[in-house]
Chains A and B, each alone.
Chain A
Amino acid sequence: MKLLALLPLLWVASLGAAQPPALKAGVFDPPRQAPELTLQGSNGRELTMSAFRGKVVLLAFGFTSCADVCPTTLATFAEAHRQLGPAAARVQVVYITVDPERDDPDRMKKYLGGFDPTFIGGTGSPAQLAAVRKDYGISAEKKMFGSAYTYAHSSFTYLIDRSGRIRALMPYGHSPDDFVHDLKILLGE
């Protein structure tokens, strides 16, 4: 009889357990495996996605001469990283350039180091980077201004879980708090 009385409680508890906490980012269902890539890392080593299994990866695309979107995104990552405290060691920011003409590994290291020394940049040949962009559905268009140029590029961030699956996409403009919220959920899985 007591067991029968407990049944409604168990049912309510199971409802709660069935609902995973909602991410602030847009969620893919089912999530797909992040395509493998091989680029030159700003840390002087080969950059592959599989090397980060066990960590949650924030993956974004941009370029070091970007005037607004990239510095804002990277400053957001840096603040989220700081707020995470020790858990930040299990999060890896990977920033892949869309501008291989200017962004060599050294330049990327200096640029990213200004935000957080743990951030890793990725660069390569135009063909390598174009293939990576295709795999990840990233747009990048060169815009000429006289002899100078800039890039219009996808500004969102992929959230890749510890199993290497693309779980979510955070549009540009979200706060560090939103990233911390989602990173804690993914780190807790």
Chain B
Amino acid sequence: MRGASWVLVVVGAGVVGALAWVGFTPIHSASRDQIFEIPKGTWTRRMAGNKVEILPDHIRLTLGIRDILVLKNRDDVPQIFGPTLMMPGQSFRLPFEQAAEYQFACTAHASGQMTIVVEPHPQTPWARIRWRVRELIHHFS
């Protein structure tokens, strides 16, 4: 019984320690770019009848961590990409400075719209935990 209690104490302390680390360690990001790229040959694949989804109709960004939307057209033909027309080899880099929901007309999506949700920088421990857990789920999904 005494052994089992010790295990519980150690596990509990470990969980609390991990949560404290996740909640209190500031979030840093090597790059603030959220990149979406049209690969070479996309137009050809679409013309062949293949459905090619590159840009989701809902994008989530976080201020100070990942708050720059970068679109790149690596294909050989001009493409409507997100809100804009992009030439072959061209990139588009859109920074966000305010947390808000942004709507863009986007003919590439069935809804005709693309939504970018820019969330505030996670300042509190709880917000950091939530942000890290969501990133982890997104990473493995």
A173 vs B85: C-alpha distance in the bound complex, in angstroms?
20
Q: Is B90's CB under 8 angstroms from A29's CB?
A: yes
Q: Is B110 an interface residue (CB 8 A)?
A: no
Contacts of A86 in B (CB 8 A): none
Q: Interface centre among B83, B87, B95, B104, by most A CB within 10 Å?
A: B83
Contacts of A27 in B (CB 8 A): 92-94
A32 vs B104: C-alpha distance in the bound complex, in angstroms?
22
Tell whether A26 pairs with B94 under 8 Å between CB atoms, given A32-B87, A169-B83, A169-B84: yes
Contacts of B80 in A (CB 8 A): 137
Interface size of A by Cβ–Cβ distance < 8 Å? 21
Shortest CB–CB separation between residue A70 and chain B, in angstroms?
A: 14
A188 vs B87: C-alpha distance in the bound complex, in angstroms?
26
Q: Is A154's CB under 8 angstroms from B91's CB?
A: no
Within 8 A of A (CB), among B108-122: 112
A136 vs B78: C-alpha distance in the bound complex, in angstroms?
11
Shortest CB–CB separation between residue A144 and chain B, in angstroms?
A: 16
Contact with B along A18-33 (1 / 0, CB 8 A): 0000101111111010
Q: Interface centre among B86, B93, B97, by most A CB within 10 Å?
A: B93
Interface of B is mostly: strand
Q: Is A29's CB under 8 angstroms from B107's CB?
A: no
Q: Is B102 an interface residue (CB 8 A)?
A: yes
Shortest CB–CB separation between residue B86 and chain A, in angstroms?
A: 8
Contacts of A154 in B (CB 8 A): 83, 105
Q: Chain B: interface residue count, which band?
A: 20 to 34
Q: Is B102's CB under 8 angstroms from A26's CB?
A: no
Q: Interface centre among A26, A29, A32, A153, by most B CB within 10 Å?
A: A26
Contacts of A171 in B (CB 8 A): 83, 94, 102, 104
A136 vs B84: C-alpha distance in the bound complex, in angstroms?
8
A27 vs B69: C-alpha distance in the bound complex, in angstroms?
11
Looking across the interface, which residue of chain B has its beta carbon closest to that of A137?
Answer: B85
Q: Is B90's CB under 8 angstroms from A32's CB?
A: yes
Identify 27 residue pairs between A and B in the complex whose beta-carbon atoms are under 8 Å apart, listed by A's number.
A24-B95, A26-B69, A26-B84, A26-B92, A26-B93, A26-B94, A27-B94, A28-B86, A28-B91, A28-B92, A29-B90, A29-B92, A29-B93, A32-B87, A32-B90, A136-B85, A137-B80, A137-B84, A137-B85, A137-B86, A152-B112, A156-B84, A169-B84, A169-B92, A171-B83, A173-B100, A173-B102
